Structure 1
């Protein structure tokens, strides 16, 4: 027995000792050296943290190339995240010098070469977010290690400006906005130019992101500035059409910010804003108010991308020709709206409190405001059509969540998916619905047992948390995480989620203009996981029935 243990120890030490590593890598800015983490028998991952992809940005200016460095940059510590407001909106943290990226490169017996590359764009409503180090409770949500190791792909996460510094705009050339989108673009271009030195294939780059990151991915596919820089894209719970993803009246927000920081709102405004202290600017972001169904929180996310005539030369709906050769995979969580609707109608998430039908109507009225009473009547009739005469509290609460999910996420995402398929030349289109029940749902837990996949629930599975923190999850969640990593990395490798290095449980059909099929993803998948025309009645309601009603003379405050 002892001999066997010694032999095993020798074999293991050989395996880790001979794990491959890149060592010092040459980039356009200079040499970088990361850290090699052995993962087991002839398996390791090189991690590079905090490599600058652009210079420290100037306030309200596009990013510029990094001047480079002398000697070897020790890329072993995360950079600071971009300057942003705290979750409670009471303080700010981070740095303006935040245009850095992190890279995970997996190796087997030999140093990797020609691997597919996946670039991650984080969410946070364009207001907050970061992929630099722990997100909460010392848990680093966006570590690329599991995806890289299991899928044999290179994972890159990037920093981009958010909030006032990332998205303030006057709606004209004085302060065009979209600085955060330009940062993402600069990072994608840097990866395209430099990733070969890290063993990546610049002709096989996929960008992926969730929420505002998913919308960012969508904007990047639509911008003419990215021609040829990446081949595929994945949008999780966010696209350009989401009601929070674009500001149609940015000037109003710019004037509010100017007033808050004591700048005039006339032709001196922009010069004054540019000379204002960056922490003061960050704190002047419009406050996100919650807890009132008449003013849903999602309507307060006012610092977002704009049609600037440059990065986005036109309305998103007119730019899909730019994505015609990009493979696109996009989807939604079946209760993506739960998080937001439970904030707008506080009784919704409280198991001891009834939700009045009136509150559901008030929320719907806020979403259909431009169509007045007629819009509310049509929409409410559609959503309550299966209620019967005495709907249960579960039915009422679930309907409110459906309304939030449809309006904030599902319908805009379906619109983008259909438009991609309709304009595609060589690009393929794939659609999904994540329906895994929430881990927070059930007896003795905060959520009702009917709560499905809430907003951001997909992240833990895509990033392999059930493998890295096994005690917090069961086998079902590990299966699901394995499925998602398989579909996502196969797609990054071949443009087809079914073909690649990893086996998948169900063949995911392509969505075409004539066949609107989608995959229902959860921990127990089988042949019946293929769906058809996702929530078509409600997609039709929001994209056709309501828009055809006469407007009520109310223009959106946005």
Structure 2
């Protein structure tokens, strides 16, 4: 009899375990119902896909509130991506009606309440991208399930406009631009107003994103429009200072687009562009040309945010007072530049071909163009200072990667971290470098064996792919993924990556202007993973020495 009672109790508890779900959730637009996925005994996650956070946007206009719906919205299918060019740049796909978000809510024995919420912004150079990311063995790269389940946080992923539809601008009030950033802001505000109904804490929201998504996060901390809407932010391999993340001559690009779609380039241009078919506009984006040493591909990303006097009232460097109360965690991959540099220099990945020093010089000259011949010479002396009389091919190629990594990602990120720490009042600052060797750098793989963490390598670890697709990874990758999820979700919970629900391998110190400490993240971490003054020589080169030279080669530096 006693055994029967126990069995009955177990069966009952199993029944209640599977019933741990939010069910129908009431939002400002109407009711929604997602899907409940069982992950184990007393563990499940509610997934809501395709909830609208704004109405279908007008072409080249700010987003507007969604009118709402009747009945219960079945939130079980991802919405389409925002209309964009295909990877081959020969067609478009996606929809104008794309301002939707997806939500993952984890549950234990009881339905969750008051959980931290993390909002994800995808990368794609402000030109492409989607909130599901590529499909990974039937498992979307940006699925929030693993982060939500392991870290006990709510994960939200968001669609925002890209390319011409997201960032075309005349540089004045005619077409102010930044439509994609307004979409993101609109999603943040929606989450702040509605996340309580999903078991989230509206006063504990963290933004996170990678590449253009990391730069987007950076912009969202700098705009005055988000006051009080979120508490913390994480930028992975992208900040507002990245040279590809701010358009300095938007009007020129808009004139080119207008000519392509047959609009007059006079005072009728804006009205004509706004009435042009959206797919035609998307197709008219400037082509991303194949890079070369003289014209690195990343310099062809011509559609990006602008200083518009509204979303960004001033240059990013003058807006850090707006982020004074926001906890900020930012970093880069140690070879973020590899993906780009290896394509800019044709001989780079060919084992049978040598990369000429001349190509590295041409690449550096392209990145230091504004600093004139004197700038190039000073920079080349710095980058080749450890070469010796006959540098090896590996040394030459690694230098080329360093040039790309430093100028496009590392130095801008360090600048951002430094300014955040300088202006912070209650906000804390954390800096990292991911140095896990690339999975493509093993024998029989296409990369050189010295390649570290390439651009976008962090994504698989943050989103827990070594757990969801275990055959593709080893134990060290699961360790690393566990560490990153722990640091990221602890930070989202408490503002301190070391404190929260998850154990971490090493205590990560705050970044201060005097100590400049950072965490070197990889699968084998110990006390020596805490380092300081990340590539300080090169940070100084790009932020102080080079800008102090005028382009005429006249130097003001000592």
TM-score range, shorter chain: over 0.9
Moved more, 350-359 or 84-93: 350-359
Q: Which runs of 5+ in 2 are unaligned?
A: none
Match of 1:71 in 2: 71
Moved more, 296-305 or 11-20: 11-20
Structure 2 SS opposite 1:264 = coil
Q: CA deviation digits over 1:309-346, x for unaligned, max 9? A: 00000000000000000000000000000000011102
Deviation at 1:351, TM superposition (A): 2.2
Does the 8 A contact of 1:19 with 1:42 survive in 2?
A: no
Cα distance in 2 for partners of 1:127, 1:291 equals 16
Match of 1:222 in 2: 222
Deviation at 1:265, TM superposition (A): 1.1
1:196 aligns with 2:196: yes
Cα distance in 1 for partners of 2:372, 2:174 equals 36
Alignment of 1:6-21 (within 5 A): 14=14, 17-21=17-21
Cα distance in 2 for partners of 1:406, 1:16 equals 53
Q: CA deviation digits over 1:472-523, x for unaligned, max 9? A: 0000000000000000000000000000000000000000121100000000
Cα distance in 2 for partners of 1:168, 1:253 equals 8
Deviation at 1:349, TM superposition (A): 2.0
Distance 1:9 1:319, change over 3 A: same
Does the 8 A contact of 1:15 with 1:41 survive in 2?
A: no
1:474 aligns with 2:474: yes
Match of 1:416 in 2: 416
Match of 1:320 in 2: 320
Alignment of 1:208-287 (within 5 A): 208-287=208-287
Cα distance in 2 for partners of 1:434, 1:12 equals 46
Does the 8 A contact of 1:80 with 1:132 survive in 2?
A: no
Q: TM-score, normalised by structure 2?
A: 0.96
Alignment of 1:52-71 (within 5 A): 52-71=52-71
Distance 1:175 1:436, change over 3 A: same
Distance 1:8 1:499, change over 3 A: farther
Alignment of 1:97-496 (within 5 A): 97-132=97-132, 134-135=134-135, 138-496=138-496
Distance 1:390 1:95, change over 3 A: same
Q: CA deviation digits over 1:424-446, x for unaligned, max 9? A: 00000000000000000022110
Cα distance in 2 for partners of 1:169, 1:378 equals 36
Deviation at 1:459, TM superposition (A): 0.2
Cα distance in 1 for partners of 2:296, 2:12 equals 57
Does the 8 A contact of 1:84 with 1:127 survive in 2?
A: yes
Match of 2:517 in 1: 517
Deviation at 1:553, TM superposition (A): 9.1
Structure 1 SS opposite 2:70 = coil
Match of 2:526 in 1: 526
Cα distance in 2 for partners of 1:120, 1:351 equals 38
Structure 2 SS opposite 1:229 = coil
Q: Which runs of 5+ in 1 are unaligned?
A: none
Instruction: Count residues with an aligned counterpart.
Output: 551
Distance 1:483 1:92, change over 3 A: same
Q: CA deviation digits over 1:251-280, x for unaligned, max 9? A: 000001001111111111111111111000
